[in-house]
Chain A
Amino acid sequence: MTAAIRVEQVFKRFGSVRALNGIDLDIQPGEFFGLLGPNGAGKTTLISALAGLSRPDSGRLAIMGFDVETDYRAARRQLGVVPQELVFDPFFSVRETLENQAGYYGIDPSRQRRAWIDEILDNLDLTSKADANMRTLSGGMKRRVLVAQALVHRPPVIVLDEPTAGVDVELRQTLWQFVRRLNEDGHTIVLTTHYLEEAENLCGRIAMLKAGQVVALDTTPNLLSRFSSHTLRLRTASDKPAQLGMTQELIREKTQERPSGWWTFAFAHFDEIEPLLACIRNAGCMIDELEIGKPDLEDVFVRVMQEQNQEQVRTA
């Protein structure tokens, strides 16, 4: 099957900075894919290279099998990009903006084009603003227009570069509902975001970038199980769990939150909880409060980035 996005050994330098350092990536059609990383990791540079806004020094990028350099017209028709910056053309209304954008992609004015633009406006709650000048819209509304512009030529692959940065909760929900529906309809979605909870909820697969390299790439559940763990938080009468007869093997990872008296234990499987609680019970210690926490992408992200930092220190 032709990959929705194929990135092969892509390098890009800006002066002495290696923005992309040998990226290899395959994203399959219909995936909801997350591209995560700290600022300066190379996410936006990679998106720019895919969109033809930036030219890699070497390597190959293709969208739905079309090379972004040698077959750029076909490649760009396959791709819709929602840029990170809140940009707009102040001379035009929302409808004019969308009609212009459709025209740039070679779509002739027709009843179908108008109907599709009306449908997008309706789906993004923009119908009442269709004839308003872009300057008069709020930030959230402008963000919606950016999404509409990316969809106007019905691309099979949609890239959203931090689409919810600075967006209120209501719009965020509306946007994700809409994007989820697009994904269910078969569109490939690539998302970059600093809101890791969003990525965790939406993305089936995630790549983490650091210093222009892919440092982790897996399905979201696999990443969570590989790099993160469940946590058991409890508060006991004693503040020294080691004295409760717990062995080092039992306590895989613990932290103490002073002065609250809370202890946090990390565990991979639920069957590890019972021996831990048994130790406390056998020591005759009372548990005042207890909570179980799920693994989250933030842990994974922090862990992966820390490992990379240590790796860099070792190789330096």
Chain B
Amino acid sequence: MNHLFLKPSRGFITLFYKEVLRFWKVAAQTVAAPVLTALLYLLIFSHVLASHVEVHGVPYTAFLVPGLVMMSVLQNAFANTSSSLIQSKVTGNLVFVLLPPISHNEFFAAYVLASVARGLVVGAGVLVVTTWFGALSYAAPLWILAFAVMGGAIMGTLGMIAGIWAEKYDQLAAFQNFLILPLTFLSGVFYSIASLPPFWQQVSHWNPVFYMIDGFRYGFFGVSDISPWVSFLVGLLCLVILSFITLNTLKRGYKLRA
């Protein structure tokens, strides 16, 4: 681990570069498509609700933009690690990264950082195309960056767990449809949890993605349902727990090294 932090090894750099290049080579599918999806969400919701709703004193369209950006960051970070691993496992080319002298720490760091990179590229794309729909402010840019990176890392790590665990594409799809999608959609992307009944507010507090969205939105408007520090600590705790599980899984070689 120390070696990784002192001077990144060539193996780690190459694996990270390869993972970035992998999504960049099919950018129409991995970057342009999610940006278009987010844009469609914004067009539809802003058309229907913009004239009726204001959240935290912010017009609904402006409120929606950070939520959509963060949702895109999270979903694409998850997709990057999970799809890369499952494809490599199914086609058998994972052997090319298992044979070389790359440690499990380097393996983990390369895949997760590449997923963060994809999340940030897609997030930036969504931000650019949606920016003229609502007057966005940038109250605390460092929080924006911190939550985007941490959220991407959490979902990238979760994507690694899913990619290692799944043996078939439908198992991965189940993970995505029954866990990731509900977690992101029910996290306050489209609403403030203050508007929910008390019971659902309590339920939302058990959803770690809610803290990522809320903290990210704080970076734009300076207002949020929860203190950004609390959200940051919750996110950090999730990242530490998921990283520990993933590193342990990689070290044991679970489903990768028989």
Contact = CB atoms under 8 A, between A and B. Distances in A.
Contact of A81 (B9, B99, B253): B99
B257 interface: yes
B14 to A, nearest CB: 3
Given A53-B95, A105-B101, A106-B101, A91 B21 contact: yes
Nearest to B18: A100
Interface in A105-148: 105-108
Most buried by A among B18, B21, B101: B101
Nearest to A88: B93
A53 B22 contact: no
B136 to A, nearest CB: 35
B143 to A, nearest CB: 35
Interface in A57-116: 72-74, 76-77, 79, 81, 83, 85, 87-92, 96, 100-101, 103-108
Most buried by B among A14, A52, A72, A106: A106
A14 B258 CA distance: 9
A96 B88 CA distance: 17
Nearest to B22: A91
A192 to B, nearest CB: 16
A140 to B, nearest CB: 18
B97 interface: yes
A51 B253 CA distance: 13
A55 B99 contact: no
A211 B100 CA distance: 29
B98 A108 contact: no
B96 A89 contact: yes
A48 B258 contact: yes
B10 A107 contact: yes
A149 interface: yes
A306 interface: no
B257 A54 contact: yes
B245 to A, nearest CB: 20
B111 to A, nearest CB: 13
A47 to B, nearest CB: 11
Nearest to B3: A73
A162 B209 CA distance: 48
A103 B257 contact: no
A89 B14 contact: no
Nearest to B106: A104
A200 to B, nearest CB: 29
B257 A104 contact: no
Interface string A9-53: 000001000000000000000000000000000000000100111
A252 to B, nearest CB: 46
A91 B22 CA distance: 6
B5 to A, nearest CB: 17
Contacts of A73: 101, 103
Contact of A103 (B13, B88, B92): B13
Interface of A: 14, 48, 51-55, 72-74, 76-77, 79, 81, 83, 85, 87-92, 96, 100-101, 103-108, 149, 153
30 contacts: A48-B258, A52-B257, A53-B99, A54-B257, A55-B253, A55-B257, A55-B258, A76-B99, A79-B99, A83-B92, A83-B95, A87-B91, A87-B95, A89-B91, A89-B96, A90-B91, A91-B22, A91-B25, A96-B21, A100-B18, A103-B13, A103-B17, A103-B18, A104-B11, A104-B97, A104-B101, A105-B100, A106-B9, A106-B101, A149-B96
Interface of B: 9-11, 13-15, 17-18, 21-22, 25-26, 88, 91-93, 95-103, 253, 257-258
Q: Which 10 A-B pairs have the closest CB atoms?
A: A103-B14, A104-B100, A73-B101, A87-B92, A76-B101, A106-B10, A54-B258, A89-B93, A87-B93, A91-B22
